[in-house]
Structure 1
Amino acid sequence: MSGPCITTLLKSYKLSRLFPTIMEEARMVQSLGMRSTQMTPTRTQYTSVISQLEQRDLSYESAIRSLNALQSNAATLQKIRKERQKHVHLNLPQTRLYLERSGVTQDMLNNLKVIHISGTKGKGSTCAFCESILRQYGLRTGFYSSPHLVSATERVRLDGEPVSRAKFTQYFWEVYDKVCRGRSSEDRPPYFQFLTILAFNIFIREKVDVAIIEVGIGGEYDCTNIIQNPVVTGITALGLDHTNILGNTIAEIAWHKAGIMKQGTPTYIDGNQHSDALKVISARSRELSASSLSQVPELDQFNWDRYPPVLGLHGQIQRRNAALALTLSKAFLVATYPELLPVYDVQPLVISHQPMEGSGDIDTVQPFQISGNMALGLRLADWPGRTQMVEKERLQYYLDGAHTEESVRACASWFNKASKQAISPDDKIYKVMIFNTSGDRDPQVLLTPFLSCHLDLVIFTTNLSGLQGAVDQENFTTTDKIQLDRCKSHLHLWTKLHTKRFEVADENLRSSLPPITSGNSVPAVIIPLISDVILWLNNDSKLQEGQAGSNLIADIPAPVHLLDADRIQVLVTGSLHLVGGVIACIQEDGMPPRRTIDPELVARYKNPDIPGEQLLLPSEKPKCHLRTGRYNNVPGML
């Protein structure tokens, strides 16, 4: 009588739970050179199987591969998008189910002190400002955001730093084994839902004093909205994005974003919104019984005292994000850690019942005095890949993952100013834009503002880095063909924009564009892999040696002006995934560059006897007029 087949034997010993899917089980059997349904294992073969199972790969790379397996493939994703509205109401109950399966109850989550922030643009930056401010008060901070640029560890931060690979791996397998292992694909959370559950596990186990949580998409049905008891909630600027999920109007999108408001919890918002959005937010605050709804003042209305108004994140749009972050941070401290505030500062925020013009019936927070910790937190805030400049020899990379209509306009404005300030008068400059989009975003809307950037060349590429072993950047939600077809569409559209076949609807934007003539159209090329783009821009010898990832670029001659330029200014925008791919290619360690903190500067901020003049860096002093309180041309200053 023949013995059981190997698969049956494994299951009889209840070892199949070590395989997430039948496919993994089959791969194990195949690796042993056996056919699962026909061969009876000998004792030696069985012992070999047990040995391999006991030596299960629990490395970081294996964790990321298992995480990536939770992504929906491109075909499945299309089906999900079409049917999403039918099942969207199930998202939160499912998230709670998986959370409890991981060992975290709703009561445990409710005890976490949370700042919950939604919005279309600036929500990540606002979270980064909040985290930096609260860390200056000595709090242990947790910060959950998405997407990551290079490494999945960036999504979960402790004390301002991405969680270490070792800690990520440890917590990943603990949660994965409880939630996913041995279960069918239908009984596992998808990628973002799993990471949300993982983040909550880490923050609770690491005993953070505050968890700053950025909403993924929308708010009402977002996985993060299982939070029932936030200390305070915030809503940043709204715009049209993820329209296939949230709706095609600003009012529909506002309904989703406002869904994070909770009974008895104050909400603060960026009041520079479309009137339709403000009406919906106001109505939803009453529907959800928020304790209050207030818009924040402009940043320059706060009392800065002796502190220079310097922001760590550059660009005009960051002023609004910083104002919201100041308000959220103070409201959080007053409610949870009043002992950390000076005596004069422990009172609740004062609300003016005289709304700003155009804000409907929404009250306004009265400006308050900024403390040294708040000013320092704003100055040291670090949010890689957003209005960030990185220099690599003669190449200056301007990185901004802007991907909405409002944010690309802000990006174009920032690039125009920053690129002028970063060069000498005699430098020969060559300006390049590397561009891509993702999802269902309108490329015409995203490309048009860059017509005013006086570019010399545009390179359309995919989000594929072309690097070996870049498991953190694997994306199964799209295909190579889809990405390359999108590049071709972008190139076709760019050509049409330069021949005026498309009319720019916005009058202000149209008036700022240079006249289009046959002699000033900006050429564009397609280079499919990001790593090849970087090699090509550097005129790297690997191209001549035939070692580039794509043979295509060897046939694209570099423009003479590019080769002769003293400075090549490279704007990378349109997609955070693209920015991440570029960072992975240009950084030696493949990780986003981090801000260097000067401990002496920190000490000066902490010392109340140091005058304001000494809080400026030497390079900033000649550009500042302290007696008039005006600061001119200083990066990050108001």
Structure 2
Amino acid sequence: MPSFICSLLRYASRNRYNNPSVMSPLVKTYVPFATKLTKKLDSNQKYEECVKTLNTLQSNAQTLEKTRLTRDKLAPLHVPNMVKWASRVGITLDDIDRLKVIHVSGTKGKGSTCAYCESILRHQGFKTGFFSSPHLVEVRERFQVNGQPLSREKFVTYFWDVFNKLEATKEQNNDSMPAYFAFLTLMAYNIFLKEQTDVAIIEVGIGGEYDSTNLVRKPVVCGVTSLGMDHVSILGNTIEKIAWQKAGIFKPGVPAFTSPQCPEALKVLHERAEEKGCHLEVAPHFASYERPGEKFKLGIAGHMQKVNASLALQLTRTWMKTQGVLKDEVVNEVAVNGHGDIGVAKSFPFNQTLINGLVECKWLGRNQTIKKNRLTYYLDGAHTLESIQQCVDWFQKHSKREADSISGKVIKILLFNTTGDRDVTQLLRPLMSCGFDGAVFCPNISYTTSSSADITNMTVSSETQLQKCQHNMETWKILSLSKRKYGEIEEVTEDDSQSGTCSSSLKNGVHTNTENNCLNGTSSLKKSKLTENCNNSNLSTGHVDYSQSHDNVDQSKQNSYTASSSSCTDSQGLGTPKQLGTNCDNFFVNFSCIYDALLWASHGRDQNLKDPCNLPAQIHGADHVQVLVTGSIHLVGGVLGIVSDDYN
């Protein structure tokens, strides 16, 4: 309890007899307030303790590196282990079958598709449960009941219910405890059973065949969203291998739907459906559902959302038909799409309740816009080539529309990070077309000195994250100089965009590299390009580290932005403050955490941030700043936790 309230209550207690007419109202006013505040503080503390305990189930970076070699051998054990852990918690497979699961895998749009499913069924009057990953700001967001994240109080209750049961049976089970995501999956099934939801909408974590969510034997319906190249070190380095993994959620006799796929992926999905004994159809074009005069705007922005919404419509309609609450009203007859025997699913007419479910669907961090005074954040957690391209289309359309409505100078800033084995050159190249005035790079670390347990990531070291971030900036530097010199972006190889010590290879047309090997440095090709273009490029680079406690932002504003001169060809050491040039048209700069990056990118336009000094002149003179945050959903979550009023 805050000390001033404690003092006031002590004073009131001592003087209640001396001046009861004055003190009695004070006691009546502040005692309930203090009690309520104490309960809230106690609840928050208990929640933080839970999350810290949960984080002990994360494997650290060294352990993960050791297990990479045995990953393929261990993968088939994931689901059997989940069954054993569920049994120790008191959950049987029959219990999970009673949840009436909608199970969704895919590369892009899994979360959006599940969000549409949840909103549609909730608007139809069903009590919904929705398990998603990853979370943006707080881990409890992964569990939604009736469209609302699980409260901190309920999270604490359900967490200890599962954790204590597993801990109590650990000794007789070879000290076996589930890892982080597996534990959360068990917790999700337990929550939805205890909350007695009508439906459980389950988003796959990674892959499908060996995913922790795949212990469900009899889902009501399964869906596969758009497929692409992602998590290649785990799922395989071809689209066929990835499709094989994603189709692992298919079950005998359970209807399945897929978004339109490339022929290679669709062929594998069809083969797996036949192997599993299930009927597979392709979700139709979204326009086939609409009747004249019934146009409406989906709740999630972006043209790809029509693809996700169509899949969700098929999944929810099939689910409702199996519950005996829906008649089969058909508009279009099934049509063969030319890929084997897979047909296009039937479309159907909308009613107002269905439209409300689509229109009122919300999914934070995907094509999301946050408007503030002379500042707009554009947030999209795109992290594959296809999703980055969609993000570029969305950002260009909406940022131009906004800029056209503003009288004065508008500048565009990119805030970017990517993780894992993703090809950063491939992801950054489409973003060059946006015409950014500056680019900011930082790891998925919210603050340099303190951080919420919810966003603690022990699976990768902070050093590795900073090295990856430096590599991202160096890649952007080369792409920028190449575009300026040649008028177009040259083909940049991995060897160009990372040091000679960073191993990379090309397998089946997919770049792969080991994150731990991505170190700072400038290759000979980079140096020659940078030296040749430095005087004429109007590009400036630097690394800035405010090195400050964010509990005292005012002091950091005065003292943290120390600087020294830097040239284009300087080696940018992490942790070394650098001053940006003042005669440059474009900038790219590297920061140690999200908060510092936002200070630079927003230039104090955000009330949740403070105004740093020594910023480029053109940012000082801008009437409006547009900041695109993309490349990693974890980066987007970190930004939301800092700038969104919902979390502050």
Report 1:453-602 matches (<5 A).
453-466=434-447, 468-500=450-482, 502-503=490-491, 519=537, 522-540=586-604, 557-590=614-647
Give the letter for the 1:586 counterpart: V
Report 1:71-110 matches (<5 A).
71-110=58-97
Residue from 207, 219, 222 that aligns with 1:230: 219
1:384 equivalent to 2:364? Answer yes
Report 1:233-252 matches (<5 A).
233-252=222-241
1:548-585 deviation digits (Å, cap 9, x = unpaired): 9xxxx97x831111111111000000001100111111
Change (3 A) 1:305 1:154: farther
Q: Following the alignment from structure 1 to structure 2, what is the Cα–Cα distance between the partners of residues 236 and 257?
A: 9
Gap regions ≥5 residues in structure 1 = 1-54, 506-515, 592-638
Change (3 A) 1:313 1:520: farther
Partners of 2:52 and 2:453 within 8 A in 1: yes
Shift of 1:183: 3.5
Partners of 1:351 and 1:363 within 8 A in 2: no
Change (3 A) 1:159 1:64: same
| Higher deviation after alignment, 465-474 or 250-259 | 465-474
Residue from 165, 168, 177 that aligns with 2:152: 165
Residue from 248, 254, 257 that aligns with 1:265: 254
Shift of 1:390: 0.5
- Aligned residue for 1:361? 341
Q: Following the alignment from structure 1 to structure 2, what is the Cα–Cα distance between the partners of residues 114 and 236?
A: 17
Shift of 1:520: 7.2
- Aligned residue for 2:271? 283
1:358-387 deviation digits (Å, cap 9, x = unpaired): x33211112211121211111011000000
- Aligned residue for 1:60? 47
Q: Following the alignment from structure 1 to structure 2, what is the Cα–Cα distance between the partners of residues 503 and 534?
A: 31
Q: Following the alignment from structure 1 to structure 2, what is the Cα–Cα distance between the partners of residues 123 and 541?
A: 34
Shift of 1:434: 0.4
Q: Following the alignment from structure 2 to structure 1, what is the Cα–Cα distance between the partners of residues 492 and 203?
A: 33
- Aligned residue for 2:392? 412
Change (3 A) 1:559 1:588: same
Q: Following the alignment from structure 2 to structure 1, what is the Cα–Cα distance between the partners of residues 341 and 421?
A: 34
Partners of 1:496 and 1:502 within 8 A in 2: no
Q: Following the alignment from structure 2 to structure 1, what is the Cα–Cα distance between the partners of residues 61 and 349?
A: 51
Change (3 A) 1:309 1:267: same
Shift of 1:349: 6.4
Give the letter for the 2:636 counterpart: V
Give the letter for the 2:417 counterpart: N
Shift of 1:537: 3.3
Partners of 1:443 and 1:490 within 8 A in 2: yes
- Aligned residue for 2:192? 203
Q: Following the alignment from structure 1 to structure 2, what is the Cα–Cα distance between the partners of residues 476 and 530?
A: 17
1:320 equivalent to 2:307? Answer yes
Q: Following the alignment from structure 2 to structure 1, what is the Cα–Cα distance between the partners of residues 329 and 69?
A: 46
Partners of 2:100 and 2:198 within 8 A in 1: yes
Q: Following the alignment from structure 2 to structure 1, what is the Cα–Cα distance between the partners of residues 125 and 92?
A: 28
Shift of 1:82: 2.4
- Aligned residue for 1:596? none
Aligned length: 509
Q: Following the alignment from structure 1 to structure 2, what is the Cα–Cα distance between the partners of residues 437 and 537?
A: 18
Q: Following the alignment from structure 2 to structure 1, what is the Cα–Cα distance between the partners of residues 269 and 43?
A: 50
1:452 equivalent to 2:516? Answer no
1:468-500 deviation digits (Å, cap 9, x = unpaired): 451100010111110110111011111121233
- Aligned residue for 1:213? 202
- Aligned residue for 1:44? none
Q: Following the alignment from structure 1 to structure 2, what is the Cα–Cα distance between the partners of residues 301 and 541?
A: 44
Shift of 1:392: 2.2
Partners of 1:352 and 1:363 within 8 A in 2: no
Partners of 1:303 and 1:367 within 8 A in 2: no
Change (3 A) 1:285 1:274: same
- Aligned residue for 1:112? 99
Q: Following the alignment from structure 2 to structure 1, what is the Cα–Cα distance between the partners of residues 297 and 644?
A: 27
Give the letter for the 2:243 counterpart: A
Question: TM-score, normalized by length of structure 1?
Answer: 0.76
Give the letter for the 2:626 counterpart: Q
- Aligned residue for 1:422? 402
Gap regions ≥5 residues in structure 2 = 1-41, 483-488, 494-532, 540-585
Change (3 A) 1:98 1:304: farther
Q: Following the alignment from structure 1 to structure 2, what is the Cα–Cα distance between the partners of residues 205 and 409?
A: 41
Equivalent position SS for 1:361: coil
Change (3 A) 1:536 1:181: farther
Change (3 A) 1:337 1:210: farther
The two structures, once aligned, show a CA RMSD in angstroms of 2.5
Give the letter for the 2:421 counterpart: D
Shift of 1:125: 0.3
Equivalent position SS for 1:180: helix
Shift of 1:588: 3.8
Give the letter for the 1:532 counterpart: D
1:206-248 deviation digits (Å, cap 9, x = unpaired): 0000111000000000011101111110001000000000000
1:166-187 deviation digits (Å, cap 9, x = unpaired): 1111000011000135737951
Equivalent position SS for 1:187: coil
Residue from 35, 59, 69 that aligns with 2:56: 69
Question: TM-score, normalized by length of structure 2?
Answer: 0.75
1:483-535 deviation digits (Å, cap 9, x = unpaired): 11011101111112123384179xxxxxxxxxx99557642100111111222
Give the letter for the 1:387 counterpart: N
Q: Following the alignment from structure 1 to structure 2, what is the Cα–Cα distance between the partners of residues 428 and 74?
A: 45
Which runs of structure 1 show a deviation greater than 6 angstroms over 4 or more consecutive aligned residues?
Answer: 55-58, 348-351
Change (3 A) 1:587 1:56: closer
